[in-house]
Chains A and B, each alone.
Chain A
Amino acid sequence: MKNFSFVNVENKADALEVLHREKEKSCLVAGATNVMPFIRYEKINDKTLINIRNLQELRFIREEEDKIEIGPLTTIYDLENSEIIEKYAPALREAAQDFADPTTRNSATIGGNIANASPAADTATPLLALNAVVVAESKSGVRKIPIQEFFLGVNKTALQCDELITVIEVPKNAANSNSCFIKLGLRNAMAISVVSVAAGVELAEGKVAHANVALGSVAPTPVRAKTVEAALVGKEFTPGLVEETAKLVTEDISPIDDVRASGEYRKTVAAVLVKRALKKSGKI
């Protein structure tokens, strides 16, 4: 293991202060389930680990009038067991249920899962389909980053080095309340997804009013299936339509060959998972 130093912080103000001081050397760590393998593989060197695991003020799930607010320190276990998440963001709950295993879910946090920006992050795909907003704070102020602009590449996000995620907002709407998540992994437990899909559909008089579809592990970042979405909106929601539009997902993704699956396989299976997720969300 290479060299790093460790600072423990107990509240948000201290965290922002240390981030401001350490700047590029900062490496926030909460559940540590991503950071520990990085330490082991010596990807972390000459960094200051800032332990925010005990920042209880950022561990919450709240219901507001038009949105729900999730604190970044919320564990995957909390997501799995929240009635608010179950009601307004079921895709996120299903992702939590598929996440690693219960021991990891007790440590891993939603903030860490997205800040690490793995294309396979289990909560990233649903948050993208749910049109979430990431609220980031630094000593110089607060800004809101739409999730579509948050992921820039593998392990790269729009966060500045002195910024801390303070809230993840999810709008309350019918498409989000109908949302669902499907993950294909090589085994049930501890699996990194081969492909994951989250979808939320809102119907009005049998026609598609809104369709949100996102995929993970098929590009350098989680992606929205814009071609699929465009082909759905305004049409009558039938199995035939879903069957046809799901195939268009290959336009939206650029999967690579890796140890888990080939790009070709991912393309084939992505279309199948999109079809299943749309049917599940639209209840047909």
Chain B
Amino acid sequence: MTKHEIEITVNGRKRRLTVKPNDLLLNVIREDLVLTGTKYGCGIGECAACTVLMEGKPVLACMILAVAAHGKNITTIEGLADGDKLVPVQQAFIDHGAIQCGFCTPGMVLTSHALLNENPDPSEEEIRDYLRGNYCRCTGYTAIVKAVQSCAKKNQ
């Protein structure tokens, strides 16, 4: 298969890569860029453990060919905080103990962060609806929803 040169911006840094047409964006992020915070869960778009932000919107990195991500701006969990300064929802996950095994956490945090950007004052129902594709098999959902809720404007 012919290889392709791509350029993607990951966490603010431009990266030039050579990829095969069938390389998943997820694998390129994990293996070529060694950003292993993005998790490989189901690989078929059902669990959202591989969520990344593309142009600010949450998408599934297992459902995107790396070659199709050429020119895009991508944020992974490693790029969300500004150095040691966590974004509010990251701190809220810690404060509410919204993490058990941690496998779903990067996807949960990124999706929650995108929700709060889109809707700074979500209700519990809106939070549950927005996070409905993100699987947590420890079932820490209650703590996760509480963490996101604490970031809603009305609770600040």
Contacts and interface: CB of A to CB of B under 8 A. Distances in A.
Contacts of B59: 103, 106-107
B125 to A, nearest CB: 12
A37 B44 contact: yes
B104 to A, nearest CB: 13
Contact of B21 (A6, A32, A102, A188): A6
B101 interface: no
B106 interface: no
A41 to B, nearest CB: 9
Nearest to B22: A1
B63 interface: yes
Contacts of B54: 106
A190 B133 contact: yes
Interface string A3-42: 1111010000000000000000000010111001101100
A120 interface: no
Interface string B41-80: 0011110100100100111101111011011000000000
B2 A51 contact: no
B65 A32 contact: yes
A71 to B, nearest CB: 18
B34 interface: no
B148 to A, nearest CB: 13
Contacts of B90: none
Contacts of B48: 101, 103
Interface in A51-68: 51, 53-54
A116 to B, nearest CB: 14
B22 A107 contact: no
Contact of A4 (B22, B24, B46, B115): B22
A33 B63 contact: yes
B132 interface: yes
Contacts of A96: none
B68 A32 contact: yes
A158 interface: no
Given A8-B68, A36-B62, A37-B44, A102 B133 contact: yes
A104 interface: yes
Contacts of B153: none
B89 to A, nearest CB: 15
B60 A8 contact: no
B21 A49 contact: yes
Contact of A103 (B43, B51, B70): B51
A100 B133 contact: yes
A101 B64 CA distance: 16
A100 B24 CA distance: 20
Given A4-B21, A6-B4, A189-B133, A104 B65 contact: no
12 contacts: A5-B1, A29-B65, A31-B63, A32-B65, A36-B24, A36-B44, A36-B65, A51-B65, A101-B132, A102-B58, A190-B45, A190-B46
Given A8-B70, A33-B45, A100-B133, 18 more contacts: A4-B1, A4-B21, A5-B21, A8-B67, A33-B60, A39-B22, A40-B43, A49-B65, A51-B65, A51-B67, A100-B45, A102-B58, A102-B111, A102-B114, A103-B133, A106-B57, A106-B58, A190-B46
Q: Which 9 interchain pairs have the tightest Cβ spacing?
A: A101-B133, A189-B132, A6-B21, A1-B22, A106-B57, A189-B133, A103-B58, A36-B63, A51-B68
